[in-house]
Amino acid sequence: MAEEETELSDEQKKGIAKWFIINAPAGEIQYVAKDLKSVLKDDDVYNEAAAVAFPIYNKSHLISLKMPGGYGDVLVTSYGELQDNEYLDPKTAQVAIVDHVKQVCKGVRPATDEELPSPYIEEYRYALEAELLKYAAEAYPKGSCSVYCTNGKDVEGPGSDFEFVVVISAARNSPHNFCNGSWRTIWNIVFRDDIQILELKGKCQVGAHYFEEGNVQLDAKRDCRDSTMFQGPDETATAVVYLIRRHENEYMASLEGSYLDLSDNTFKELRRKLPVTRTLFPWHNTMQFSLKREIRKNSESGSCAISERHKSQFP
């Protein structure tokens, strides 16, 4: 007798729904959410799961949303998060009010003095952001970037350490061509005043999803470290962006090299060393094999055999 299927509890359903939403590929969360809502057939369960999962997804994917009023875009990140779905945009000194589930910006308000860094810190932050915007416009035409002060925003002058976080986010979604992709980099920069050194720690992440007659996903990451001299705002900004550019270009070049190596070496290594013939396959000269020629040769030999057999039956 077949065992009866156990009905999942609402908490189990919410846990599964949250997992699918959080792990949706870049640019596809709304498609995943729509299918989940249809499968669950319970608006209360879906809404509770979505309310928790969407903010996690949006912040981890560093999504960019258009602000009303012509203020430009705001990045949804934990570094700019204030409270009650409010996110600081340092470029415009505005605070965006975000609807996470709909992935839209509902409104904006001016940032208060307490939410903004001191004039001394802002001088460094603004110079770095200005240099970063030029780099991002060149390297990521459809991307967004921001510089946040995450520690020491009230420092009034030299003599104290402070920290910035540089965030770069770019996405290229083409669902009608069955592919979506994203690029995300986060750079933590510590300004060490005592030794006049800047310490950089970067994390680059690339995601891609191809789903034409299949399902192939890429999730690649790299950590970077570097340092430079603590100088004036403009000199520091130039030095930092130079290092960011160098590391990101090196990572992109390594990815391209891996893809070129994929078909030439990696896939071949996945095959058995010797086929059933116990003879190495000549990968260096695959053109010597011709399926058409082999078929013709076999068909001709088969025809000769049949003719000889027929002759033996008729004197």
The domain that holds 187 is classified in CATH as: 3.90.1150.210
With respect to residue 124, please indicate whether it lies within any of the assigned structural domains. yes
pLDDT at 308 (0 to 100):
47
In a domain, 37, yes or no: no
Domain count, the chain: 1
DSSP reduced 3-state for 191:
strand
Tell me if 258 is assigned to some domain: yes
Residue 312: what pLDDT? 44
CA angle 223, 243, 225 (to 5 degrees): 30
Confidence (pLDDT) at 105: 96
Amino acid symbol at 82: L
Quote the CA–CA distance of 174 and 180 in Å, as a whole number.
Answer: 6
pLDDT of residue 74: 96
Which domain range does residue 234 map to? 117-268
Could you give the residue ranges of the DSSP H alpha helices within the chain? 10-22, 29-40, 43-60, 119-139, 233-261, 267-270, 291-313
Report mean pLDDT in 10-residue bins for the chain, 315 residues.
69 94 92 92 94 96 94 95 94 96 96 96 97 95 94 94 97 88 96 96 93 83 96 96 96 84 61 60 58 56 46 43
| 229 part of a folded domain | yes
User: Which pLDDT score is estimated for 304?
Assistant: 46
Residue entry with tokens 């204030």: 82
Are 120 and 156 spatial neighbours (Cβ–Cβ below 8 Å)? yes
pLDDT of residue 99: 96
**Is the separation of the CB atoms in 196 and 161 below 8 Å?**
no
What per-residue confidence (pLDDT) applies to 259?
74
Does a structural domain hold residue 179? yes
In a domain, residue 61? The reply is no
168 domain residue, yes or no: yes
Kindly report the pTM of this predicted structure. 0.79
Sheet holding 86-89, edge to edge: 86-89, 94-99, 104-110
Return the amino acid letter for 120. Y
Of 182, 128, 127, 117, nearest in space to 151 by CA: 117
| Single-letter amino acid, residue 32 | V
Which pLDDT does position 297 carry in this prediction?
61
pLDDT given at position 271 = 55
Q: DSSP letter string over 147-161?
A: EEEEE-TT--STTS-
In whole angstroms, give the CA distance from residue 162 to residue 104: 32
What's the count of helices (H) and strands (E) in the chain, helices before strands?
7, 10
Q: What is the DSSP string of 29-50?
A: HHHHHHHHHHHH--HHHHHHHH
- 73 within domain boundaries: no
